[in-house]
Amino acid sequence: MRALVYDGPWDLQVRDLEDAEAGPGEALLRVIATGICGSDLHGYTGKNGRRFPGQVMGHETVCRVEAADPDSGLRPGDLCTVNPVVACGECVSCRAGAEQSCRNRAVIGVTPEIRAAFAELVTVPVRNVVRLPEITPVEYGALVEPLAVGYHAAVRGGCTPGDAVLVLGGGPIGQAAALAARRLGAERVLVSEPVAGRRGLCARLGLPVLDPTAFAEPEFAAAVLEALGGPATLVLDAVGSSGTVAQAVSASAFGARIVLIGMSSVQLQVSAYAVSTEERSLIGTFAFSAREFADTAAWVGTAPLELAHLVDGRVDLAGAPATFHRMAHGELDASKVLVYLTELADPA
């Protein structure tokens, strides 16, 4: 099988590897397409230090079942996606339905020993395969994972229909968080994004947008208040820097919840005074539970019309190394790029 192999920072190669084979309790999947995640780019550049030479990355994927134990309920040809969080299923966290905090977890696409989804074939535990209705537009299957990240963040923030929601960052995870807030009934959702192309994409999703670079700090808070009809009661920070946390504090109400999704900074500077005296909450979020992933897949399976806007780049496997290079250098104006492992007639 062909696969995209990480040889070290800034070095990806397309190689022929021995075909994957399913063991007991596993399914063999033929990959259709896999999305390039921001964490993949950080791994590619060496920024996060969590990718190792010889590794095959990729965790935002849509596949068809190639082979599986008949007792699994999976059949060859089934359209599916993969929950990349492989939990033990036995610990306190797993029993509580919080598989993402399992201390024994592995993550497909991150754990180096697992050959992941930038390959023509991948093997995964049967319990991590989530089938999709055949009516699902195929590309939507590769969006389930990032959409589940956004959904978990909105759930962690206790998003309600009455919330005024500010989303900081309009990239794929910010888009997912904003759509999740809408899924949970919030009608007032505003996205702050400095990149014009991403603002345009969010606008096509029906989301009000603003450019944070157009305002000094006091004016930014005033612009948010005007757009939302009041200060934000829930902030979903898909960037995760000291600057965006400061924006979240300045533009949010007494008692607001601020959910930190992005991790662009290892350390954050936070105004303890503004958090304490205004009784704001800072909430961490990581990945998603198995139930949240399955619920998101079920929603994606209804083919929501807005998802048609989310994929704005496509490339075949041979073109993937150059695409990673361009994206990491900020030379490609695309929000979500899919790498096709099957034939792509017109790669973009």
**What's the rounded Cα separation, in Å, for the pair 290 and 310?**
23
Q: Tell me: the pLDDT tens digits for 270-321?
A: 999 999 999 999 999 999 999 999 999 999 999 999 999 999 899 999 999 9
Q: Tell me: the pLDDT tens digits for 225-240?
A: 999 999 999 999 999 9
- The percentage of the chain sitting over the pLDDT mark of 90, rounded to a whole number, equals 86
Confidence of residue 348 (pLDDT cuts 50, 70, 90): very low
How does DSSP classify residue 223? H
> What's the one-letter identity of residue 85?
V
Q: Tell me: the pLDDT tens digits for 152-170?
A: 999 999 999 999 999 999 9
> What's the one-letter identity of residue 264?
S
Query: Do the Cβ atoms of 22 and 124 come closer than 8 Å?
Result: no
Of 29, 21, 17, the C-alpha closest to 84 is: 29
Domain boundaries, the chain: 2-145+288-340, 158-284
> How far is CA 329 from each of CA 45, 315, 334, 338, rounded to the nearest angstrom?
10, 17, 12, 18
Which ranges constitute the DSSP H helices of 229-303?
Answer: 242-250, 272-277, 290-300
Mean pLDDT over each residue of the chain, to the nearest integer: 93
Q: Tell me: the pLDDT tens digits for 201-219?
A: 999 999 999 999 998 878 9
Q: Tell me, what's the pLDDT at 214? A: 92
Beta-sheet strands, E only, within 17-88: 26-35, 60-68, 79-82, 85-86
Q: Tell me, what's the pLDDT at 347? A: 44
The CATH code belonging to domain 158-284 is 3.40.50.720
For domain 2-145+288-340, the question of CATH label 3.90.180.10 is answered with yes
